[in-house]
Structure formats: C-alpha cells, structure tokens
Amino acid sequence: MKKLGMIAAAAAMTAGTLSADIQINKYLSVGGFVDFTYQNVDVSEPAGVTGLDTSDFTMDQAEIDFKLDFGGGLTGQIDLNALAESTNSLNTSVEQAYLNYDWGNFDLTVGKFATFIGLEGLEPVDLYQYSNSLSFSIEPTYHTGLCGNYENGIFNAALAIVNSLFDNNVDSNDELAFAVHLGIKPNEAWSFNANYATGEEGSNSANFATVGTNGTSLSIPVNVPNSVPSGSDIDADLFTIDASWSNYGWTLGAEYASLDLENAAGVTLETDAWMFMANYAFTEQFALTGRYSTAEGKTGGDLSEISISPSYAFTPNWLGLVEYRKESGSATYAGAAAGFGLGTADADIITLETILSF
C-alpha cells in the first residue's frame, strides 16, 4: 500500500533517510521539513485577458511531525502544517492526528490520516519532482475516520470508513464514505494496486468548485455546474489502478484514475486521468525525472502536462530541484467566475525548489 514516493534525490536514498527523526525520548520523536520555491508561470492568455502570468518566491510549506510510540504496538502521529495561501500568508492546520494499533499483519488507524488512494506521495519530501500529476488532482488527500490494513509481505488490503472522500475533516451531510484498497507486491521491484471509493459530498465542497493542478494557473474540467443548488448532495465514485517498478537505479510508474460525479438533478460529470513517470538515479545525489499526465472530462474539456525535473541532494537533509512543466489543452482558466470561461489553454511553468528535512 506504500505510495510511490522515495524522494527525488535518488532511488537509493529513501525519504526516511532525508527526514531522519530527532529522538526526544523513548516515547517521542520529531521530524519535518521546510519547502521554499521560486516559480514563474507564463500563460498563453486569451484575447482581452491579462494578469495570469506570475513570478514569485514562496515559502510553500513548513511542517513538524510528532511521532509517538507507547509500546505494545500502539503508536500515534500529529502533523502540524503551515501551507502558503499566498506569497505573504500561511494557513496553519493539523494535517494528520491519529492513533495506530498493530497486531502483526493487521493494524487499525483511527483519526485524521493520509489516504491510501493514488500512486504519488502527498508531501514534497515524497515526490520525485515539484508538482503532482493530473491524476493526483482528482484524488483525495486526507480522511477523518478509521482504516483497517492487512499486509503479509506479498498481498495487502485496506478498508477505510470516513466522514467524506474530499472534505477531510468534517462532512456536509450525514452519509459516511468508504474506500477499499487491494494490492500485490510479488517481489521487491514490482507493485500493483487498485482502489475504489464512494461517498456523498456537499455541492459547496471546494474540491468540486475547482479541482486544480499544483501551483499553476489552469484547472482540469471537473467543475460542478453553478446550477447545482447550495446544499444539494453530489454522489462521487472514484476508481484508480497503478503499477510501479524500481530496480537498477530506475523507478517507473503508471496510473489510471476515473472520477464520476452526479448531482441531485442527475447531471453527471466524469473525468478520466492517466499518469506515466520515469526516474533515473545517476548517483546517490543526482537524479532525473520525466512525467506525462492527462485528464479529460467526458462532458468537455481536457488538459495534459509534461514535466522534466533534475534533482540534487546536497546533503542527506537538503534537496534542490528544478522542474519545467508544460500544460496545454482546453481547460478552465483560474478566475473563470470572472468570465474567462473555457478555452484553449497553454502554460509554461518553471519552478526552483529547495527542501530542508529533519
């Protein structure tokens, strides 16, 4: 059930190596990271539209993780996160807070925890490049509820019962959501996973207002129509499959994700997304990643991206990378509510990122 997420420095250097926890006592250790970027976004703006290009330095994210070990198989974790809302504003939150009890092959997690859905990691220290793929953009991130996991070294499975697939802290209705995972890892190189999730979401969920790509000016076409009455519920069904292979310095991954939304009036919105990536570690410090992903709305609109990202680990705790991302397609411009609407979209995004982990 492990996501594809050995940090971009090199396949031989795991994310755990680059975020070695500080041991406070036998019950508590502390880890975290600070993520700082410079990003330049150049958008091919439609006639009469200006102001979509940006060029900013940003302290993207700072996080501190408190990891608890009470012994006897009982552990816990609390992640405090400060996420950039703008170049001069940070939004602080409790990203995760959960208890986990381990019975050997089986364990149970209760609280707010990271989703098992999707191939890519959720944190900057768990990515091979700066941005996430378009398939990631239609997947959940964190849930509040409980999750049971089983793993015997080859086969793994999980069942989560949570408030909501996308509103990860509270729900806007009285219906619970469910997610199921099945995976197989026949050897150290290969991994195959399938996930299905279903739930009833509130129409005012920000996840449905605009499901967008990380840090860019464009968003993929899964917007709920403005005609959906406030308070109406939306049935959401999500299915993903993925495969990955890692050996000889190479890490390869592929993923398919499909999100279906239906409102109370029977209006259906469906989006299919694909992702393919390859990472090669030339040394234990230098690596290069290439990725292609695409998302297509069955009711209109499509977006694709291609990203190239070299990375270098200056020390075991300090990583730097550059990402060039090209987006193109028929997509909704940021600020569509102001009348930009649906049109041909192209964007060139260059990001310089440095991550200090501990």
Above 60 in pLDDT, residue 250?
yes
Burial of 89 (0-12, 13-18, 19+ CB in 10 A): exposed
Question: Model confidence at 347, in pLDDT bands (50, 70, 90)?
Answer: confident
Above 70 in pLDDT, residue 129?
yes
Question: Model confidence at 65, in pLDDT bands (50, 70, 90)?
Answer: very high
Looking at CATH, the fold of the domain delimited by 15-357 is given as Porin (2.40.160)
- The residue with tokens 């995760």 is 96
Q: Which residue has the higher pLDDT, 195 or 137?
A: 195
Angle (CA) 356-140-311 rounded to 5° is: 30
pLDDT in tens, 133-151: 989 888 999 999 999 999 9
pLDDT in tens, 273-313: 999 999 999 999 999 999 999 988 765 667 889 999 999 99
Asked if residue 58 lies in contact with residue 36, where contact means CB atoms within 8 angstroms, the answer is yes
* pLDDT score recorded for residue 172: 56
Highest mean pLDDT: which of 125-129, 231-235, 324-328, 346-350?
125-129
Cα–Cα distance for residue pair 173/181, rounded to 1 Å? 24
Do you know the residue count of the chain?
358
Above 90 in pLDDT, residue 215?
no
Q: Pick the closest to residue 58 from 86, 81, 33 (CA basis).
A: 86
Which tokens belong to 123?
């944190």
Q: What is the mean pLDDT of residues 58-86?
A: 91
Q: Which residue has the higher pLDDT, 205 or 328?
A: 328
The pTM of the full predicted model, rounded to 2 decimals, is: 0.85
The residue extents of the domains of the chain are 15-357
Phi, psi (degrees; rounded to nearest 5) at 106: -120, 140
Above 80 in pLDDT, residue 188?
yes
Asked if residue 309 lies in contact with residue 115, where contact means CB atoms within 8 angstroms, the answer is no
Alpha helices per DSSP H over the chain: 15-18, 206-209
Q: What is the mean pLDDT of residues 94-119?
A: 96
Q: Pick the closest to residue 254 from 230, 273, 226 (CA basis).
A: 273
Question: Model confidence at 207, in pLDDT bands (50, 70, 90)?
Answer: very low
Q: What is the mean pLDDT of residues 320-341?
A: 64
Cα–Cα distance for residue pair 81/339, rounded to 1 Å? 34
Asked if residue 61 lies in contact with residue 35, where contact means CB atoms within 8 angstroms, the answer is yes
Question: Model confidence at 124, in pLDDT bands (50, 70, 90)?
Answer: very high
